[in-house]
Amino acid sequence: MHTTDKPVRPRRAVASSETAREINRDILLHTIHLQQPVSRADLARLTGLQPSTVSVIIGQLMEEGWVVAGSLGRLPRGRRPTYVTLNDRHVTLAIDLRPGKANLAVVDINGKILGREAVAFDIKAGSTPEEAKTAIAHIARAARSLRATYGDRVFQGLGVSVSGRVDQRTHRLVFSPNAPWGQIDLYAELQKVLGTPIEMENAANACLFSERWFGTFNDASNLLVVAVAEGVGTGMLVDGRLARGRDDMAGEFGHMPIEESGPVCGCGNMGCWETFASNRAGLRYYRELAPESTLTSFQELLDLALKGDIRALRSIDKMMTYLARGLAMLAAGLAPEVIIIVGDCTALWPRICPLLESHLIAKSFTPHTPRVVAAMDGDAARLRGAAALVLHKVLFRQVDFAPRHEREGERDNSKLVPTHA
């Protein structure tokens, strides 16, 4: 007798009860983060979970120390509800590494900066490994001192925001034309001198985490963060996911050539966007107007502009005109809902915002132009973003993994909120 064997269907993975509990835990943590202070009853209503499930998980989170009971609510009648919040005793050490200096902070789970420190160092791109390691040692001393000052808090790790692109598999800086860390394994050096878990990310991407974690754009799916400093970097949220690209290099629009005969860029090309729109460009424009100038920093230029110095204002206006040219190209290609500008230049926001908006409107070929806003906390966004990298990892256990990392077994931060949010 002829028989035909039926094909064997592959077994499907079935979520265990433990997985379901972890997902529900993430749902509640994320909702508390967004809505705090919030009652258990409201958590059940907002999440759709059963009140009994909410009570059990909140009890576990309290035992773990992530959630604490707060004030009592008021109702017309019946038992007064107890509000819960995230426990702000949990903190993160954050470091924002810039060419020439490092900003350090202790940031609590709700984004409050408890203490700050700054370390200056006189090294530049191309410095020797010994010089770079000496700078790291100075930063480590300041970090240990800052951590000791808040020794009564529970530290969850170190978040590092860096001017450059970081390969999330190897933790190596793969592109940092303006930063002095290319000669060393920055991640390994920091881990060696500080001995703590580290999350390291490009500064613009870190700012994107800051806005999504602590800011007001939790519901936006298409965000563009443009960090204006010694260079120009961008972080992109596209359809709800952080765009990384090959080798985590996506977002280097600062090295998009806009004038072939422009100045030489740190990347080796000529006429890159950042040679016209960065802080360094602003200083160059001022020196062209005031050859006698002795200014050495963008902050000095900014101070003059804030006092009404006409040449300083014209220099920053020119810098912003070039910034607007690049933003118009990004808006046409990426269609963001919101463009967030991060940097010292936002101190002049009432002046520069209309310039940026008018240029975007003039160059738009659709009736919809992105909203342009300054980062909620200026350059501190880089520190809060570094902290958010750590908090996202330690708080959420069930996250959405990019297909590439699912195949390769690597963790991925490309999803900035839990799978359910």
Contact 191, 142 (CB under 8 A): no
Contact 286, 315 (CB under 8 A): yes
Contact 227, 379 (CB under 8 A): no
Residue position matching structure tokens 């009860």: 17
How many Cβ atoms are within 10 Å of 95's Cβ, its own excluded? 28
What confidence tens digit (pLDDT) does each residue in 197-214 have?
899 998 889 888 888 778
Query: Which of 3.40.1360.10, 1.10.10.10, 3.90.650.10, 3.10.20.600 is the CATH number of 17-86?
Result: 1.10.10.10
What CATH topology corresponds to 216-375? Nucleotidyltransferase; domain 5 (3.30.420)
CA–CA gap between residue 129 and residue 134 (Å, rounded): 9
Contact 176, 122 (CB under 8 A): no
Q: What is the pLDDT of residue 79?
A: 65
Contact 170, 138 (CB under 8 A): no
> CA–CA distance from 311 to each of 181, 275, 301, 306, 321 (Å)?
35, 19, 9, 12, 15
- 197: its two tokens: 């878990």
Query: Which of 3.40.640.10, 3.40.50.300, 3.40.50.150, 3.30.420.40 is the CATH number of 90-209+390-404?
Result: 3.30.420.40
Domain boundaries, the chain: 17-86, 90-209+390-404, 216-375
Q: What is the pLDDT of residue 371?
A: 94
Phi, psi of 253, deg, nearest 5: -70, -15
Q: What is the pLDDT of residue 415?
A: 47
Written as one letter, the residue type at 323 is L
Q: Dihedral sign for Cα 246, 252, 258, 260, please.
A: negative
The H helix count followed by the E strand count for the chain is 13, 15
- With a cut of 70, which residues of the chain have pLDDT below it? 1-16, 71-80, 124-126, 379, 397-421
Q: What is the four-CA torsion angle of 341, 344, 345, 350, rounded to 10 degrees?
A: 80
Q: What is the DSSP letter of 247?
A: G
Phi, psi of 353, deg, nearest 5: -60, -50
Contact 67, 45 (CB under 8 A): no
- Tell me whether the CATH fold assigned to 90-209+390-404 matches the one assigned to 216-375: yes
Q: Where are the alpha helices (DSSP H) in 150-220?
A: 186-194, 203-214
Q: Which residues of 18-28 are buried (b: 16+ CB within 10 A; e: fewer)?
A: eeebbbbbbbb
Q: What is the pLDDT of residue 419?
A: 37
What confidence tens digit (pLDDT) does each residue in 117-165 have?
999 887 766 678 888 888 899 999 999 999 999 999 999 999 999 888 8
Q: What is the pLDDT of residue 121?
A: 84
